[in-house]
Chains A and B, each alone.
Chain A
């Protein structure tokens, strides 16, 4: 009986995942990420991977907003920063547990997205891009109005970590690694499902032709706001996780979570990986962040090399590397199927 169930699960899994080469590739990559701790990496490497997963969630949420709904935002750091600050403040100064503060932070992000969405979604095109870029900068400067424990340049020092050190005796990075990987996996699947659901198709129709979608009776504003809120919620998830993993080691500072570069990261990662795919930004974030650490040996030239690589890649493969690989794979399988069919004849 049990064996039968396993067989059923395996078979449905095999037809849904193993027969599609790109999904198989994603599955293998996930297995690889699961297996990385088996090589006993130092906690430094684990930390780098953890940050890359956090940015992967962040970039994937940006991709849902931009690649699907076509609302080019350059201020996604707003939600990342708001969530990081909310979660850090609630857990450090009010003593709430982390499993409660991160959902609260996400909820707060959704609320902010609704409030800011109404005025900012009235504007279009490059106006939207630049007006969204303004919000995190305004918040960044306004934080200096508060007194040091919350505001100021250094922000909130050391919010609590997911797994306290005395509790897990040196394996806390490992536990954190698996936790963040799980969060990434779940949120990637949810985002992918949303992007390919009916709602996701409506988003794409808005991206393709807004007036035509309006003519079809789609409430464009409602769907735009929905995309904005979903994206903000997941960016908030990334921000909350950031506050208790990387932020907990130093501080959650305005420069770190609300700066211009924080807004630029998801843009760069998504375009590098492939826009509109959800898996593209994840690949992009993982590749770029590990690449950045790989160039550690060229200490001074590091960022320069890194940025040059990004620029060259975008000029060479404007559709993004993940999209490019998947397209090649699909072409290969199509070719193989054609050959098989001809053999049968």
Chain B
């Protein structure tokens, strides 16, 4: 897209947003005093919770978009890595000697988080090297094999842990109350942690030599190989990063759930592909924007329509379908039609 067109689009989006905010504000002041404060609390809640879940979703979707953008792999086992990450975290925590009553040092929690991320990264590398690499040219086979990996990991977890639900601990206990909204410290931490990880990754891709190689391979695989880039090793690294991001997102996102049912890979998978499609496949900027859109949309349903909570899962997909009908390549997608 030409530069001026993009600017025009951004200007239109800004104007629409400004009008919407102004409309909401005027509407709020037209309400009675009690109603308006209730509405303002809802808005505050939406802003806080939406940005928190948006940031963790961004972390989750970034891995999905990264491996698609660099290696053209639609990785259906991304949700399984998320699930595996949460499992590995609680298992490592037990091995490190953590106990909720006697030994609850936060050092152990962070050590377990790092160990889980590294471990899942290695699992990702193994899956890529053994299963995806031999058939990487055939998109459909890759799709089926990654679905197979998901089902396999699901079964292995079922065999190892059965119906026992391991609790995933929060990284920090306690709550704080900024802007009159009660927030768990864990959620604040996950917001900060995901944003800083995304920033590190962004700088890594934009500035480092390996990041340059990734961008080159994303543009044209064969030419990148001709320039002396070892694409196999590059893809392995990308897969490792992608899998560890999914694992960290799993550790951050699992605890607030009412019951720690871990064996759920559908939700993260559906979320990550909805986000990635809203933003445009393979675009990092797009998946960040998409993550916040989906995060706000998902939190808006229970806050504004408490009766329609069954729609909570579908809202992300509905947003995705609407965006696709309006813009068939997502908001920032461009690389797919390269031919």
Contacts and interface: CB of A to CB of B under 8 A. Distances in A.
Interface of A: 66, 72, 74, 119-120, 122-127, 129-131, 133-135, 137-138, 141-142, 144-145, 260, 264, 267-268, 271, 275, 300-301, 303-304, 307-308, 310-311, 314-315, 318
A311 B148 CA distance: 6
A301 B134 CA distance: 26
A137 B144 contact: no
A274 to B, nearest CB: 12
B156 interface: yes
B281 A126 contact: yes
Contact of B314 (A72, A124, A142, A310): A142
B339 to A, nearest CB: 8
Given A126-B281, A307-B155, A315 B313 contact: no
Contacts of B189: none
Instruction: Please classify how large the interface on chain B is, using the bins under 10, 10 to 19, 20 to 34, 35 or more.
Output: 35 or more
B311 A311 contact: no
A142 B333 CA distance: 29
A308 B152 contact: yes
Interface string B7-28: 0000000000000000000000
B335 to A, nearest CB: 11
Contact of B274 (A123, A124, A134): A134
Closest 7 CB pairs of A and B: A134-B317, A141-B314, A304-B155, A144-B310, A311-B148, A123-B328, A271-B144
Contact of A267 (B68, B144, B310): B144
B196 to A, nearest CB: 29
Contacts, number: 112
Nearest to A119: B325
B134 A303 contact: no
Contact of A268 (B135, B144, B336): B144
A39 to B, nearest CB: 32
A120 B324 CA distance: 8
B159 A304 contact: yes
A271 B159 contact: no
Interface in B319-339: 320-321, 324-325, 328-330, 333, 336-337
A129 B143 contact: yes
A80 to B, nearest CB: 17
B147 A267 contact: yes
A125 B336 contact: yes
Interface of B: 68, 74, 131, 134-135, 138-141, 143-145, 147-149, 151-152, 155-156, 159, 266, 270, 273-274, 276-277, 281, 310-311, 313-314, 317-318, 320-321, 324-325, 328-330, 333, 336-337
A310 B144 CA distance: 9
A264 B147 CA distance: 8
A318 B141 contact: yes
A303 B134 CA distance: 24
Contacts of B324: 119-120, 122-123, 127, 131
Contact of A145 (B148, B276, B310, B313): B310
Contacts of B311: 141-142, 145
6 contacts: A127-B277, A131-B320, A131-B324, A142-B311, A314-B141, A318-B135
Contacts of A127: 277, 281, 324, 328-330, 333, 336
Pick from A120, A126, A307, A310 the residue with the most CB of B within 10 Å: A126
Nearest to B154: A303
Nearest to B272: A130
Contacts of A304: 152, 155-156, 159
B152 A137 contact: no
Contacts of B139: 72, 126
Contacts of B336: 124-127
Nearest to B138: A318
A76 to B, nearest CB: 13
B121 to A, nearest CB: 21
Given A125-B336, A311-B149, 14 more contacts: A74-B143, A119-B324, A123-B329, A127-B333, A134-B320, A137-B314, A138-B318, A144-B310, A268-B148, A304-B159, A307-B148, A315-B135, A318-B138, A318-B141
A303 to B, nearest CB: 5
A137 B149 contact: no
A303 B328 contact: no
A285 B320 CA distance: 32
A308 B153 CA distance: 11
B131 A311 contact: yes
Nearest to A139: B314
Contact of B328 (A122, A129, A145, A311): A122
Given A66-B140, A126-B281, A260 B266 contact: yes
Contact of A307 (B138, B152, B277, B333): B152
A304 B154 CA distance: 9
B159 A137 contact: no
Given A314-B144, A315-B131, A315-B135, A137 B328 contact: no
Pick from B144, B318, B324 the residue with the most CB of A within 10 Å: B144
A119 B131 CA distance: 34
Nearest to A309: B148
Contacts of B140: 66, 72, 267, 271, 275
Contacts of A307: 148, 151-152, 155
A137 B313 contact: yes
A144 B313 CA distance: 11
Contact of A311 (B145, B276, B320, B330): B145
B135 to A, nearest CB: 6
Given A137-B313, A141-B310, A315-B145, A130 B277 contact: yes
A93 to B, nearest CB: 22
Contacts of A133: 273
